[in-house]
Amino acid sequence: MPELPEVEVVKESLSRTITGKKIKKVSIKNRNLRYKIKKGFETRLQSKSIKKVKRFSKYIILALNDEKFCLIHLGMSGTIHLLRKNILNQKTNASFYHSPYLPKKHNHVFLEFDNIKIIYNDPRRFGYFKLFENKNNLENFINNYGPEPFSSKFNLNYLKKYFYKKKKNIKNFLLDQKFVSGLGNIYANEILFSSKINPKKKAKSLSENDCINIIKYSRKILNLAIKKGGSSIRDFKNIVGKNGSFQDNFKVYNRENKSCLSPGCKGTIKKKFITNRSTFFCYICQK
């Protein structure tokens, strides 16, 4: 599943491409995504212009000129592809888990602009589209989630209050979207490694310095991942077909049985499953 950096890369790609453009036509080949697309969705989007492309957490949000908002979630395998009509057969990509081969049976939603067509492809159909009638409705949806790591609300007092007497381990907290939104398994592993915190450590036992490090490395790692174009796993590419490169900076994720990269540490990276999620950590330097 794409995490905050990958969705940010897709958002930026779309923003540069469709902001200010009018939706000429909307076609739906399969309404049965994670949540069924309601009838009338096409007519409510058609002829609207894209005022702005935004992102919250792992969601892409298209702000329309009639003050409505179209929210897109890529789910596990959803991808967004741009087909440029003025260049024969040229497809550029703004997707996560992109394959050069795009089976037509998995193309579910089409948004057509002048000379550009957006294709939403999703083999597993865990992604979805949702239309919000106004800003208040969108904000009510967003308020169900915790702050993003970049938010000023994600601060020491927030963590100390949230962790107080909590027995849940810190890895599960970082994956809990009601606690902090946008993180997934890849970046939770990387943040805990850089913070020198064992992923099984109970939240209530975290020190103030632990909390400070979680905030610090959440922002540092996510910023670097965005700068690197995301993590290219299963051929993730941006809109111009370039791979992200943050996977070259992985210090712990997918490094089972390899030497720990912390200076002076002679440990090896172990892999365990915590709540059915693969978890990578150094048994020596993560306490």
Instruction: Indicate which residues carry an active-site annotation.
Output: 2-3, 58, 277
What's the 3-state SS for the chain?
A: CCCHHHHHHHHHHHHHHHCCCECCEEEECCCCCCCCCCCCHHHHHCCCEEEEEEEECCEEEEEECCCCEEEEECCCCCEEEEEECCCCCCEEECECCCCCCCCHHHEEEEEEECCEEEEEECCCCCCEEEEECCHHHHHHHHCCCCCCCCCCCCCHHHHHHHHCCCCCEHHHHHHCCCCCCCCCHHHHHHHHHHHCCCCCCEHHHCCHHHHHHHHHHHHHHHHHHHHCCCCCCCCCECCECCECCHHHHCCCCCCCCCECCCCCCCCEEEEEEECCEEEEEECCCCC
